[in-house]
Structure 1
């Protein structure tokens, strides 16, 4: 039986042509669906891969870019930044939408506070700092040469972010929110020049990392590269710290590992990043405001897809509750 969003007959033919050692008889099951791209565990009974495709329904422009996701994962191989092995990229002729295939990385994903319960407070803090160190390592990758050199346009990145995320809001909003409008006005008027140019993950948080089950401070792979580009690294840092706000918890059904009180606070994470990267943050009010703005729009987009019936899996009923508090928090941060 085909899982929602996959045609196993077409996928079987693609794997037979493009994946060395494929044995046939592909099966797949949905790992997660609807908050970003749909993610499946795919196997022929011996080898295991991960397939990512865009969500069902109407998509917002520039999001869910499978080609971008695949290019960054492929380009970062051997960089010292942990990523899954890139395997194959398909255009929309195979299953109706593009998809990317990577090797399966065994490990744990720390999504909820319950997932953190298996570890001591000391290990939770160590894990949080290890993630920040990984972020600093990503931002240290040379983007002036090799495959990454043509993967984005760092100049004007912040201005494009302000414009793009407001455009996204206009497309996905299910209500009018004065705080979103006021926050956009502040960001539009106060947009600074970029501080630097690096790989920007675009959605860096604890549950977008696969960690070692015995030692979660060992990051085995960063995942969810659909919004990666070249841009201002401080945008990644601000987004990562904003994900620690309890206002984000409804996006993950009310219990997000990133919002746990056992995690270090934003100031501690920034201090760790400065020590690991040697990069001093600037324009923090703008970057924090932009981070909340982006998360609020993402939450509203997930909520809108859920209302349309285009999400798969559990935990979507509460997502819309996050939009207004995130917008309010962003307005406070940006002022």
Structure 2
């Protein structure tokens, strides 16, 4: 099926009280591995591309491989830009076909953050993308949690002035491995949620690695619908890579590197699976109470056609693939494009 709008996934999360895993990727091989695992688990999934990765792989390539992985699946898949570095990069992601984009102005003073994020919202909505902003400062990787947490009153003002669809909150969460056991400030989360009632803004939690399972589930009960994971996937992927090299120290053939990459991808998928179970997203697709309940695997007709091979006009029957089903019309219209899989046009490419 085509890529699904991020907001459609978050709406389902809110209604059924689960969170979608937003899994950072840093290679073009990872979307297929993660979508395959999500398909097995009947879970929606978001591929997340950090802004700092753009210098290694361009955004259009990420969208291409993610859409290719998604089109043969029947679980909702979206692609999200995380921590966009500036407004120029932000718009490049929109043009590439991302289903949601984050502008991170949390490093700026409040008024500057508001002004820049408002521009980001105008850009994102022009392309049909959901927009995420951040208020408060997350702790840095391998550092203590920042004391600059999200203020509920400022969160309300921020959302009102910017019009963001998603807000990343700082409530004791941090990027990287935590020093000690993290403890989320649930009273603050409750106050933020109350301040944003009727604002049509979803809440997301960054720095999910290392947060205890009971804190994860409680945060979901209190309104978190998207949780970001990266550090744990890298940790498990690297561990798999080290073991593969230790088990295969010498060159054995042309498949050494593909097998090494496969071991890393397996680590990413295994770590993502554990997170999806904690986020309570497993088994949600296909449930009668989900807005995605009617999703079905794409249908493809294979019809014989005549072609000439071998000279002398010898006719040989060849099987040709004719796509007749572009995917579900609900919840995300794939750009009103009935030739989606034949043309490779993504749901928002016609904007």
> Do they fold alike, i.e. is TM over 0.5?
no
TM-score normalized by the length of structure 1: 0.28
Please state which structure has a larger fraction of its residues in helix.
1
